[in-house]
Every structure is written in C-alpha cells, then in structure tokens.
A and B are shown apart, each in its own frame.
Chain A
Amino acid sequence: MANNILEMHSITKTFPGVKALEDVELRVAEGEIHAICGENGAGKSTLMKVLSGVYPYGTYDGQIVFKGEEARYHSINESEDAGVVIIHQELALVPHLTVAENIFLGNEVRNALGLIDWNEANHRATDLMHQVGLDENPTTPVGQLGVGKQQLIEIAKALSKKVSLLILDEPTAALNDSDSQHLLDLLKRLRDEQGITSIMISHKLNEIEYVADTTTIIRDGQTIETLDMSLPESTQDRIIRGMVGRELENRYPPKTGRQIGDEAFRVENWTVHHPTQPGRVVIDNAAFDVKAGEVVGIAGLMGAGRTELAMSIFGRTYGRGISGEVYKRGEKINTHTVSECIDNGIAYATEDRKRYGLNLIADIRHNISAAGLKKLTSNGWINTNEELKVAQDYRVAMNIKTPSVLQKAGNLSGGNQQKVVLSKWMYTDADVVILDEPTRGIDVGAKYEIYTIINKLAAEGKAVVIISSELPELLGTCDRIFTIAFGRVTGQMPVDEATPEALMKLMTQERTAKPAAASAGESH
C-alpha cells in the first residue's frame, strides 16, 4: 500500500435530503493515470470536491490519506499547497489577461520589492508552455487562444504549482479529436517523464481505454468497482455495464419507423462574416438540405463553423454580413429573427445549454414553455394551469428525472437539462429541429434516451439536423451526413456509405481552388 499516493476511505457526504456519496473507496497508485467513470449525478465531481477541499474537512465523513499522511483540507488553497490541483470542466481562465498572467494568477512571481517581475514570469510561462507542448507568446491574451490551448494552459498553470496529483474534470468535453489526442498524450508524457499522477473524470470510453491505467466506476454515490485497464476483461462494455448498472448492448437505438419524405428544409449560398473581424468569412457559400422524416448530420471539427452555421440561420443570432437563402418545403422564408424562425417551425437546441439554452434560476415549467408561450396565451394572458400541465406531460414523456417541474432547471443533471431543452423546442411544434451537440457532457444512459427521442422525432415526420463532433454518434443516428471544414460544406454521403475515415478526410479538407465542393456532392 505504500505506493498509493492517494487513498480515500469510506467517504460519505450528505446534502440536506440527499446522500451524494456513500462509503466511497478510491485508491490511486503513484504515477498512474486513474480514470473515474460514472453517470452524471453519480457523485464524481462531489468526490473530487471533497478531495480538493471545496467541501472542507468536517463536512464529510471518512478519511483521506495523501502521500501517507492524513489530509484535512479546509480549502482549495490547502490542497493546492499539498500538490493536489483540480482543473474544472469550465475553465477558470480570465480571457482578458495574458497567458503568463493567467498561469501565475494568485501565485505571482515577485521581485525583492514585492512587485511582480514580468520578465521572469513571462520567461517561466514560456518554459511551462513548452512542457505542455505549447508555443505561444506569453503576453497573448488567453481569450484569443482556442479551447484546446486554453486547456493546456490550465495544465501549465497546475505545473507551476508543483503539482503531484492532477485532477481533470472531463478535460476533453469541449475539445475536438486532435486536441483531445494531444491532451491525452500529454497526460501520458507527464506521467512517464515527471511522474505526475492524474485523476481523469471522463465520459469518453475510448479515451479512458487509451489513457487510463486504472478505472474506478461510481454509480449513485457508491464505488462499483476498480478495474486494472491492462487486463483484457476491462472493456468499454464492462465499464458501461458498471456505470448504468445494466447491459447496454447497443449504444444507438434502431432507426425504426423512418419514412423519408419530401424536402423539408434547404439552405443555399449561405455566407456569414465574423461579427467583430470585418472581412473574415466564417461560413463560405454553404448549402445543405433535410427531408421530412430524415435525420441529417453535420460533421465538423471544432472551429469548422458548425455552430456558426446553425446560429446564423436561426434568427441571425451569430455573425454579420449574412447572405443566402433558406427554403421551407420549397418556399423561401425569412429567418431574420428568432421569432420568425419559431413561427416557421424551426427549432435550434444549442450546444451550450447552460449558457444559451436554459434559464437556470427559473423552474423547469417556465423553461419548457419559454419558446412556445404563444400557444399558452390568449389576449396576452398566460394560462398558467395549462402551462403546468404541459410541463408535467413533458416530464413524463421525456422521462425528466425530477421530483417536481417546479424545481429550478439549474438543479438538474446534464442529461435532464438537455431533456428540458428538447421539451422546450418540441412544444413549439417545430418540424425542422436543429440539435447542436445534443449529447455533449451527458452520460451514456441519458444519451441513449436522447437518441430515442431523436428517432421519435424523425418517425413523426420531422426533419432533424444533428451537429456533432462525435462521428460514431452521427453514424449511429443519421440517414445522411454533411461534412463541414473551414466554413465550407465539403461533401455529403448517405450513412450506408459513410465511414469514420471517409468523413474525417472531408472534415479536414483544406480550402482548394475547386469552388463549391458542396454542389459536387457525393465526393465519396
């Protein structure tokens, strides 16, 4: 047991009315990458908050032994001093401050007079960035860097604090495949070269399989099992089984009952400019279409312009200098404002439900009715009884797990929040539904439910567009997939002909002299 850097014994943490953790055991060996898996709400984040002192010693039961000594952290500062650094899913960087300023925030490099020594700070920041494989100017504002690089800067920041146990909460949730790969390789390198132990909370099973030495599965606040990932029986299916407590042979429900009809929605010649950088074309002459009862995927890497494409169409909520045409059942329609889109039966469920999708401080009921309030209104008065009934009906239909629709949306887990967002848009009676990363950050069980809902929408004859960076997801749910790269639609293929390799080739296709790759269509 001497080689365990961290041991957490029978950790129990209760909140008023809820037992979030019950007798959780966690043993992390020195110099390993330890993955923690579990559905949302299983208690992974709570466990990490206990470990890092967010929940101070005394507010939980159990014992934490770090480096052979019992740890009693009363705050994050104490745990960081001991060498435990946690990197949260929502990055804690200040966008207007430079890379160096961010790295040394709260830990500033001072000279003899107590003033900040910027030369030294910038120099050390450059060193730290090299360690994580970054080659940026330390005086660049962090906000100008992509999410992937920001994540690496968070790690550089952790390294600056002499970290010996690095905790990453879903580090790749917002990253594209190549950035994710880079990050995972970095974790391996830190382990091999500097002996840094990492704990990684993740939903992405192939990443866990790739990077983790050991995996601990948590379900409903209890430790289910700890797997040695070098053993052959430690498969993804085994992990899933542990997480959901049931067999999940198929991650995607069968596409039954789809009857693909006539064209429902078409976008042509769609060009969008950057909102603040004049002359920069974000979407270049894009075109796509979707038929009634069809599920169409839009595959693209982070930064390819997927969300920008969707939001510029949906009430022009992104970009300026927008041109192009939108057709609904062959007729040209206006989509200048969100309410025009809603009236035209178009719905857009955002990729960032917490920031763009929900009013977290309002209750579930009001969130569900938010976009379809017109249906509940006569002469400007809302029928609040009907509204409650609608919310309760959706709670049952969508299996939103909550004691009451009067709960605040912010109290729900990610998967249930997503169901509220979907309920909101279903209630608008939209027949063109654009879903932007519909399963981001939600657990395997809830994902399956979301796919089932998507299937149901298609079976009802609605046209569904799914934007996703997870190719297996698109292949598992769509009938046809468009690819987008560098703001241009680079091709489309029916799902039967699509392979991850073929799609990835189109998703990385750089700008060529050949114009309008979109109309060239089946480049397969």
Chain B
Amino acid sequence: MSTPATAQNDGAETNVNSIAQSIKETFTSNIRQSGIFIAFIAIIVLFAFLTDGTLLSGQNVTNIVLQYSYILVLAIGMVIVIIGGHIDLSVGSVVAFSGAVSAVVVIKGGQPWWVGVLAAIAVGLLVGAWQGFWVAFVGIPAFITTLAGMLIFRGATYLTLENISLSPFPAEYTRIGIGFQNGLFGGNGYDVFTLVVFAVAVAGYIFTQFRQRAAAVKYNQHVTAMPLFIVKLVAVAAVVMAFSWLLANDRGLPNVLIILAVLVIIYTLVTTRTVFGRHVYAIGGNLTAATLSGVKVKWVNFGIMLNMGFLAGIAGVLFGARSNGAQPAAGNMFELDAIAASFIGGAAVTGGVGRVTGAIVGGLIMATMTNGMQLLGYEQSVQNIVKGLVLLLAVAFDVYNKRRAGGR
C-alpha cells in the first residue's frame, strides 16, 4: 500500500489510496451523500426499535415497497426536473389523468390490460410534450406551466371519469401493482426464486464494480484501497440479501420492485453517463454557460418535461393497479412527496445538483417514517408535521454544509 504522501502526486504510479485516506475521502468527499445514508439507517433503526421490529418484518417491508413505488418513480423524474433548474407541480394531476384514461380504456372500453398501460404512458408523454413545449419553446417558467397543468389535468381527470370512481381493473392489470414473482423454484416457507434473483443482481453489481475499478486503475485514477473496496461490496451485498430474505419470507418478489429497479438503473446511467444527463446538469448549473458551450437548451428542457410526463404515466399505472381503479382525486399531493424526496436526497433548489439514488433514498426516508408512524398509530396530522420538519431540517443541513464549505 502506498503512503498517503505520495498518493496525491499525479504522475506517480501509486494510484491506490491507503485505507485511512480512502475512509476519509469516502466521508468527506460528499458529506451530503453519506449523510443521507446515515440518516436513512438511523431512521430505520429508530423505528425498528420503536415498533419492536414490526417495521422490519417481511410483510411490512413488502408493504412499504408496494405503497411507495409510485412516489419513487415520480421522484426519479422530479430530481431530473430539479437538477435542470425547474420544478413540476402537476405530477399528481398527471398521475390521476393517465390513470383515469387507462381505466376508461380498460374498464369501460373493455380493452386488454396492456392497451390500458400503453394508453396511460401515451397520456403521460403527451402531457410531458405539452408542458415541455411551453417551458422550452415559449419560455414560460416551469413553475407556472405546471401550476396551470396541475389545474388543467385535474379538471381533465374529472371530465374523463365524469366525476365518479371507476373500478375494478381486471386481475392482469392489478398484478402490475400488487402481484409477485415467486414459486418458480419452490422453497420451504421462503421463496427461493426471490433469493436467486437478488443473488444474481448482487453478483452483477460486484462484477461491474470490479470492472469499473479495473478501468479506473487503467486510466491512472485514484481508487479506494482494496480491503475497503471489498468491505464496501460485502456490506452492500449483505444489506441487499437481508432485504431479499425479508421479501422471500413474505410473498416473494413484487412486480413493482422489478419495474422500480429497472428504472433506477436506467436513470442513474442516463444522468451520469449520457450526453443528455450531462446537459441537464449543465443548464441547471449555469444556463448561459451551457448555451455558449453548444448545449441545445430548448431540446434538453423539452426532454426533461417529456420524461417527467412519461414517468408520471408509469406512476399512474402503478397507482391505478394498486388501488384497483381510478378516482377523480387520485394522486393528490404526490408532487409534494416527489419534490420533498428530491430535496431530502440532496438536490439543490437552484438546480445543477442532485442524484437519482439520492432522490430514491430521500423517498425511502419519507416512506419509512410515514410507515413507522402509521405502525405506531400516529394520526395523519402528526405525520404531516414530522415530514415537514424532516424536509426543513434536511435542506437546512445542506445549506449549513455549503456555508461551511464555501466560507472562503
């Protein structure tokens, strides 16, 4: 292992950090990111303790996944909107509207379930294109455009549903939201299939981590010391497998979790590894500088809003499937949960900063707290107050850190 003193020399061969240095870097390089994970763990421990372990029972963990999946899907889109320097207040209405159209197509129109799904996604895309047009090409601030959209699409939902709820969906449709993949390999009181899927996922994760590390070494970058790297992988694997054990002991692998996992992977790559993602960060960080660097700002903004509509359409399907129908008031306040998840997850109010994984953890913090408080029998009113305070404190922590770091 190299000594820390020589590790900072750029040309030197010693590009593997010492253990102490790696640990320091892991925690200091991004206090906000590590802070959010620590907070998440603390909240889990706290509520697990308060609920005598009920929080971490297989059934409850599964319920959390089923209950909050659509918020997490929205949070993915919302964090991208926020990184780009915008905000979207309409997603709750868009979830309701796409769900309503889907319900009308399937329940009233008698179309098969997949036509309903496609209809919801198409509605989401159309709404996204509509809002993208106003934001990107007419230049109306997203706050105003989507405030209008919140009203317009809520009204459209009432019109579509003729002011009444529609239900029930056929079983194939509800399976998307509340169904499970299980039983393929049997198992004694637990689902082997779930464990196998997670084991494969963990193996894939470890494989890509090693590949990335190898590439980083090849490009002469600093990497974490090998022992620490392995400790990290083992910790991640252990947590993920423990989670899968909980699911396997209940009903197996929820379909929504598969959808969510795919979306998280795709959008993490989109934000970190694609030109579109980089351009979103660029326009959120400095719009003029981005323009002068050749970023096609209008199209990027259009893409951001279109994508948000797309994800709102998917969330519409998930919500409809879970609630087994469409209600005129569905999705009320979803936008606020998605926005809160993004900010708790470290997105900056001014744009240019944020991560998909951060938003997911932010959403999970909200979900865990809500669920924990429900288990403890707190009323909605108390839940709201606590959630509001957590949002405030998370952003205050962020502001405090920035001030400390940028005091010069």
Interface residue ranges, A against B (CB under 8 Å): 15-16, 18, 20, 46, 314-315, 317, 337-339, 341-342, 348, 350, 355-362, 366, 369-371, 373-374, 377, 380-382, 384-386, 388-389, 392, 395-396, 403, 406, 410-411, 424
Most buried by B among A314, A362, A370, A388: A370
* Interface residue? B272 (CB, 8 A): yes
Across the interface, do A338 and B293 meet the contact criterion of CB distance under 8 Å? Answer: yes
Which chain B residues border A389 with CB–CB below 8 Å?
219-220
Closest 4 CB pairs of A and B: A359-B285, A371-B293, A385-B219, A339-B294
CB pair B10–A350 under 8 Å, yes or no, is no
Give which listed residue, B281, B292, B407, contacts A350 with CB less than 8 A.
Answer: B292
Chain A minimum-CB-distance residue to B277: A382
* Given A366-B278, A377-B275: A385 touches B221 (CB 8 Å cut-off): yes
| CB atoms of A362 and B408 under 8 A apart | no
Q: Contact partner of B293 among A370, A377, A392, CB < 8 A? A: A370
Nearest chain-B residue to A13 (Cβ)? B408
| A366 B281 Cβ-Cβ under 8 A | yes
Whether the pair B292, A385 counts as a contact (CB closer than 8 A) is: no
Instruction: Give the shortest distance, in Å, between B229 (CB) and chain A (any CB).
Output: 17
Residue B108 interfacial (CB < 8 Å) = no
Chain B proximity of A382: nearest CB distance (Å) = 5
Size bin of chain B's contact surface: 35 or more
CA distance A512 to B10 in the complex (A): 59
Closest residue on chain A to residue B402 by CB atoms:
A361
- List which B208-231 residues lie within 8 A (CB) of chain A: 215-216, 218-221
CB distance from A361 to the nearest CB of B (A): 5
Chain B residues in the interface with A (C-beta under 8 A) = 8, 10-11, 29, 215-216, 218-221, 272-276, 278, 281-282, 285-286, 288-296, 348, 352-353, 404, 406-408
Asked if A361 and B352 make an inter-chain contact with CB atoms under 8 angstroms apart, the answer reads yes
Checking A18, A357, A377, A392 against B10 with a beta-carbon cut-off of 8 angstroms, the contacting residue is A392
User: Would you call B353 and A15 a contact (CB within 8 A)?
Assistant: no
Would A388 and B288 count as touching, CB distance under 8 A?
no
B285, A317: Cβ atoms closer than 8 Å:
no
B residues less than 8 Å from A315 (CB atoms): 291-292, 294
**In angstroms, how far is the closest chain A Cβ from the Cβ of B282?**
6
Cβ of A388: which chain B residues have Cβ within 8 Å of it? 219, 221
A to B CB contacts below 8 Å, 12 in the list: A18-B408, A315-B292, A337-B296, A350-B292, A356-B288, A358-B286, A359-B286, A359-B289, A374-B275, A384-B272, A392-B10, A403-B8
Given contact pairs A362-B281, A362-B285, A382-B274, A396 touches B10 in the complex (Cβ within 8 A): yes
CB distance from A383 to the nearest CB of B (A): 9
- A20–B407 alpha-carbon span in the complex (Å): 12
B353 touching A385 by the CB < 8 A rule?
no
User: CA–CA, A348 to B288, complex, Å?
Assistant: 13
* Contact status of A358 and B289, CB under 8 A, knowing A380-B274, A382-B275, A389-B219: yes
Residues in chain A near residue B407, CB distance under 8 A: 15
Contact residues in B for A314 (Cβ distance below 8 Å): 292
